Amino acid sequence: MTDQADLSVLEGRLNLTRRSFLKASAAGAAAVGAGGLIRTDPARAFAYEPYPTDDELTTVVTSCAHNCGSRHMLVAHKQGDVIVRISTDDGRYQRDGFFGKDTEAEPQVRGCLRGRSYRQRLYSPERLLYPMGRVGKRGEGKFKRISWDEALDYIANKMIELKQQYGSTALLDQSYAGASYGVLHKSDQIEGLLGRFLGMFSCRTSSWSVPSYQGTTASSRWTFGTIEDGNEDDTFAHSKLVIMWGWNPAYTFHGGNTFYYLRLAKQRGCKFVLVDPQYTDSAASYDAWWIPIKPNTDAAMLAAMAHYIFTNNLQDQDFIDRFCQGMDAGTMPVWASGSANGRENFKDYILGAYDGQPKSPEWAEAICGVPAKDIRTLAHLYATTKPAALKASWAPGRNAYGEQYNRMAAALQAMTANIGNLGGSAEGVGKAWHAEAVAYPYDEYANIWFAAIKSDRWAHCVLNYPNISREDIGLWPREDQLDGVVPNIKGIFWQGSDWLNQLTNINKEIAAMDKLELVVCMDSTITPSGLYADVLLPVATHFERHDVALPWYKGHYYIHRPKVIEPLGESKSDFQIFTELAYRLGWKTGMGDRFGRAYNPKATREYFVNPDPVDEAYLREWWQSKVMAHQHVDMPWEEFKARGIYKFKLEQPHVAFREQVEQGKQFATPSGKIEILSSQLAQVTDWTRTMYGYHIPSIPKWIEPWEWLNSPKTAKYPFHMISPHPRWRTHSIFNNCGWLRETYEQEVTINAADARRLGIRTGDTVELWNERGRVVVPAYVTERCMPGVLVLHEGAWLDLDENGVDRSGNADMLTLDEPSPAGAFAYNTVLCDIRRSRLAHRPGWDRLATSRAHVFRREL
Ligand SMILES: Nc1nc2c(c(=O)[nH]1)N[C@H]1C(S)=C(S)[C@@H](COP(=O)(O)OP(=O)(O)OC[C@H]3O[C@@H](n4cnc5c(=O)[nH]c(N)nc54)[C@H](O)[C@@H]3O)O[C@H]1N2
Ligand SMILES: Nc1nc2c(c(=O)[nH]1)N[C@H]1C(S)=C(S)[C@@H](COP(=O)(O)OP(=O)(O)OC[C@H]3O[C@@H](n4cnc5c(=O)[nH]c(N)nc54)[C@H](O)[C@@H]3O)O[C@H]1N2
Ligand code: SF4
Ligand SMILES: [Mo]
């Protein structure tokens, strides 16, 4: 792998223009195609030529992919094997009025700017076309082209070596949601292809916490017994009050047509409130009452709202008595009096019975910076407006003790009886309609693991092995002899994740990389994580393989994803790669074909060359045996393929917990009630034996975060940085898309008074730093961000200078890798400082056309 001989191919490519680069790729494909690996058709049109008219083009309905907050239709217009244009739903592509009239009952699924810009990502200069092997030091970004044979043999041999030497926990599964919203080619922590592959190889450490919303997940499971606690978004159109609590759907998509339904609500007289450290575009659109709040103090403000509601007797006592456990003394379970952790009830906590401190609006004002009178006004409004949707989003839970914020919000939703009713909202995680999500074998091999840790603790685990306690890394308990065994991680697979760029405390991750012996990155483009890999495997995008798309949390439809074009270069789907690796590992370990066949039962080894019939067989079977059999669908597979989309028509708007509230069905909790007092938490006796590791109160409580605007640490680091999701990217995806980059710059938002004091003006280059890292980025000065707070969107492509300073403005250089007890990533619990800077800012690899140079160019 470290052979430096064959760099000529790459160096030759460096001087190519984009146009000749693509032509060269097609030619390269033809050459290898002679060996039978890939097709030989030359591309007949070039992607950047002026648009041909529609009658010269073939039109293919497909969908967008990614973990982007939604799932929309994309329409590919292609000439020959090249996509020359991308449009979206305009109602033409479904027949018989099945979809797309753009009415409340039948809305279109129209893509956003990102989806419509996809062509630039597909044909980007950052596209990985061949397997690449590292030739320089790890992280240096020097690679050479290698063959699939070399790449896969190297990986297989190394896997065997690491398993033999370090045991069944040596390989860390870092697949994530880059491609988890398809049914077949899935990257996913739980249901994914990598998990199945490493599990069957009997060498897998898995990560159990989810960056998006682990605090929220914990809360939803404890309180409602499920994460399917969301209504479909059309129900917002029936709300009379929507409280957007840390929720900015104008930027951060949260479903397909959320904004459309919120607009309908507005037109029908709904009031909007925003509780957020920044005044968002969502607030501007609906003329919302903005309540700026100090980051991470949300649980305190919600507690004070509960205080106002209880002390004014505005709670719905009948709902509480019927449906809640532990809301007050009258709803305590019998066993509670005998439980050390379970004796407290929520109302008495709020009134101060246990600690002598009523959680009054004045008490909360000192914590949150929100005037007590505003807390009262909002509490009154929420308790007296029906139906009202308190949409408590995930970002305020992506914090130290974030789970307490979500539980507190659930308590308010319950005490005001806004659960199970149209126009209310019980939403925590908020999954609504249930999709049939997996088309490949989901059997006893699907999720085998030998250790599972909190995801953001992997670097800590690698750097401190073996001197680690189970609570340090949130080790998941097991029933067998592996219980308590700290994983000895020596290799990482990134599949559908850019986690070196996206997990907390990147500098610590970089330090841990040095201790690894195998790093594999499977992606369709070179990414910041890819720079640290030993082997880069080029993955075919969702335009280049056959699948069916799932909605993202909201929406009830499937979109067919045919193979629109042949895979670019030598790229393969993840499923092809794992299948071929399974065959190779089988032979090398004396299992013969058994591993390959068990991994992908419908395939032979031929799958690496021609996956289409097998993919079709899986998808057809999934449609027939799951969708048609379980979901009352009578449309045959062939017809679905011809239409491109299947939209379920629900008899009435989907409202979570409607049956519980209207028909008395039990909630899925141990008590069958909404558990404000969690039975599960109340019964824990030794926290170190749980995956949480540390104490969690049985009822929702305000707990001080470890760094925030009221902590002594502000003497050194006076600003609280939050890092929301960017409108113009999906995390790191699309950072390299020039069209989207014309609409924005990565910048840090700072309050005007703070900026004046520091002599910072819009456009000035500033640096942000704390003890974990330093980043350089331009400033944007505004009144829309509250004093003391900095907003830096996550996802910029890391670009380090020789001193380890990030010139791109990547927020995760500053975040902390200490998770909350329930597993929430503390992405928004960050103190730092800011000043004007002379350090260099680099707006992005693509912008300076440095990407390929950075990755592939050696000192010439
Ligand atoms: N500071 C800060 N950091 C954050 C957050 C925050 O709020 N603040 N949010 C966090 C959250 S919620 C999330 S979900 C994470 C997201 O973190 P990631 O999942 O790492 O983010 P993405 O940029 O979506 O990376 C997905 C990668 O998968 C690749 N990919 C797409 N399709 C496929 C495929 O079919 N196969 C393979 N092999 N690869 C594919 C894409 O090219 C991309 O490089 O970021 C987290 N990071
Ligand atoms: N365009 C786009 N949409 C996306 C994504 C994307 O990358 N791009 N990612 C998707 C994914 S994977 C996820 S997990 C979701 C995330 O969805 P969310 O968690 O809802 O989104 P964020 O953008 O992180 O934050 C939303 C708002 O919370 C505010 N906020 C931050 N900290 C606090 C706090 O402590 N208290 C309060 N009250 N407010 C706070 C921010 O200012 C922001 O306005 O978004 C999804 N949608
Ligand atoms: S919201 Fe997501 S699925 Fe929809 S077009 Fe944009 S990036 Fe694609
Ligand atoms: Mo996420």
Please report, for the domain that includes residue 751, its CATH number: 2.40.40.20
- The average pLDDT across 523-537 equals 95
Same domain, yes or no: 412 and 448: no
Closest atom of ligand 3 to CA, residue 74? 5
Same domain, yes or no: 295 and 401: yes
From CA 619, how far away is CA 639, in angstroms rounded?
13
Model confidence over 46-83: pLDDT tens digits? 555 566 777 889 999 999 999 999 999 999 999 999 99
> Do residues 808 and 744 touch, judged by C-beta distance below 8 A?
no
Same domain, yes or no: 414 and 464: no
DSSP secondary-structure letter at 104?
A: S
Helices 361-368 & 298-311, crossing angle to 10 degrees? 170
CA of 595 to the centre of ligand 1 (A): 29
* Short-list 5, 127, 10, 159, CA closest to 519: 159
Ligand 1 neighbours, Cβ below 6 Å, are: 65, 67, 176-179, 185, 187, 211-212, 398, 495-499, 502, 522-525, 527, 539, 574, 723, 725, 730-733, 794, 811-812, 815, 827
The CATH number of residue 290's host domain is 3.40.228.10
Protein residue whose Cα sits closest to atom 8 of ligand 3:
115
Query: Which of 731, 777, 814 most suits a substitution to test ligand 1, by most atoms within 8 Å of the C-beta?
Result: 731
Ligand 3 neighbours, Cβ below 6 Å, are: 64, 66, 68-72, 111-112, 114-115, 253, 730
Protein residue whose Cα sits closest to atom 3 of ligand 2:
252
From CA 180, how far away is CA 497, in angstroms rounded?
10
Model confidence over 226-270: pLDDT tens digits? 999 999 999 999 999 999 999 999 999 998 899 999 999 999 999
**107 is a domain residue:** no
> Do residues 268 and 422 touch, judged by C-beta distance below 8 A?
no
Model confidence over 605-652: pLDDT tens digits? 999 999 999 999 999 999 999 999 999 999 999 999 998 988 888 889
**645 is a domain residue:** no
Model confidence over 165-181: pLDDT tens digits? 999 999 999 999 988 88
pLDDT band with cut points at 50, 70 and 90 for residue 25: very low
Query: Which of 71, 219, 252, 394 most suits a substitution to test ligand 2, by most atoms within 8 Å of the C-beta?
Result: 252
Model confidence over 111-136: pLDDT tens digits? 999 999 999 999 988 899 999 999 98
Same domain, yes or no: 742 and 607: no
Closest atom of ligand 3 to CA, residue 71? 3
The CATH number of residue 530's host domain is 3.40.50.740
Has residue 30 got a pLDDT over 60?
A: no
From CA 111, how far away is CA 253, in angstroms rounded?
11
Same domain, yes or no: 263 and 402: yes
Protein residue whose Cα sits closest to atom 47 of ligand 1:
502
Percent residues over pLDDT 90 in the chain: 82
Same domain, yes or no: 160 and 224: no
Same domain, yes or no: 326 and 412: yes
Domains contained in the chain, number = 4
Has residue 343 got a pLDDT over 80?
A: yes
- Per-residue confidence (pLDDT) for residue 782, from 0 to 100: 97
**176 is a domain residue:** yes
Sheet with 518-523: list strands edge to edge: 143-145, 132-134, 535-538, 518-523, 491-495, 171-175, 205-207, 451-453
- The average pLDDT across 83-107 equals 75
Measured from the alpha carbon of residue 184, the closest ligand is: 1
Same domain, yes or no: 246 and 294: yes
Same domain, yes or no: 836 and 741: yes
Percent residues over pLDDT 70 in the chain: 91
Instruction: Give the domain range for residue 824.
Output: 712-856
Same domain, yes or no: 280 and 367: yes
**399 is a domain residue:** yes
Has residue 848 got a pLDDT over 50?
A: no
Q: Which residues contact 572 (CB under 8 A, 6 or more apart)?
A: 148, 537, 538, 539, 540, 580, 608
Last residue of a domain, one of 577, 594, 611: 611
Same domain, yes or no: 526 and 502: yes
Which tokens go with 727?
């409108």
**249 is a domain residue:** yes
Same domain, yes or no: 376 and 484: no
CA of 553 to the centre of ligand 4 (A): 11
**550 is a domain residue:** no
Neighbours of ion ligand 4 (CB under 5 A): 212
**394 is a domain residue:** yes
Distance of CA 591 to the CA centre of its chain: 37
**95 is a domain residue:** no
Ligand 2 neighbours, Cβ below 6 Å, are: 67-69, 212, 245-248, 251-253, 275-278, 280, 293, 295-296, 298, 393-396, 399, 722, 724-727, 729-731, 828
Number of helical H runs and strand E runs in the chain:
29, 26
